[in-house]
Structure 1
């Protein structure tokens, strides 16, 4: 059987707990607002984050470039053998490049 005194204690404890939760919520809100209004700090953090992301992207790009360079180097080593195997194709490609360069020079000369 509960008495009036027990009920009052339970209500008081509930109110104290509610008050504590409200205080904590208010403290969190004030802390978030002060962070939002601290522009210099937020700008520094953004700049630092951007720097870290740029470094990560640069590192990834460097690894990719190294892989591509290695592949290109391997292909470049194969060129002499391929030119011996397909001399007509090489001559045709060389002629097409020479024709393209000549046409570009002619067009550039006409514009002057």
Structure 2
């Protein structure tokens, strides 16, 4: 009976030794990865690049959706301009004069700059 106990104890020690070796190998591999700065920089850059692409895609979708909405708003507003002009002729004249004055000032500045 002692012989069987010795074998099972030996096997238990072998298993424990193998587990310790595996744990040590994993630890060395993790440390090697952490000390490989160029590799870690590349991995981080790749991850940030992927996030940027994903965010840019979502932003593009939002811009397209908002542009469509803005286009509808401009179209709606443009169709209302004749009615608003008739309802507020003095305001229309003042805004038109201000636009012409600004355009004239911009043209004058463009030709007189040195």
TM-score (norm 1): 0.74
Provide the C-alpha distance between the structure 1 equivalents of 2:46 and 2:61, rounded to a whole number of angstroms: 23
Superposed, which structure 2 residues align to 1:94-105 within 5 Å?
none
The equivalent of 1:64 in structure 2 is 62
Of 51, 54, 64, which residue of structure 2 is paired with 1:53? 51
Of 50, 59, 82, which residue of structure 1 is paired with 2:80? 82
Deviation string, structure 1 residues 55-100 (Cα, Å, up to 9, x no partner): 111111001000000000011110133335555479769968x6xx
Please report the RMSD computed on the Cα atoms of aligned residues, expressed in angstroms.
Answer: 2.8
Provide the C-alpha distance between the structure 2 equivalents of 1:28 and 1:90, rounded to a whole number of angstroms: 81
TM-score (norm 2): 0.72
Aligned residues: 99
Long gaps (5+) in structure 1: 103-112
Provide the C-alpha distance between the structure 2 equivalents of 1:17 and 1:90, rounded to a whole number of angstroms: 95
The equivalent of 2:15 in structure 1 is 17
CA, structure 1 residues 93+12, in 2 after alignment: closer, same or farther (shift >3 Å)?
farther
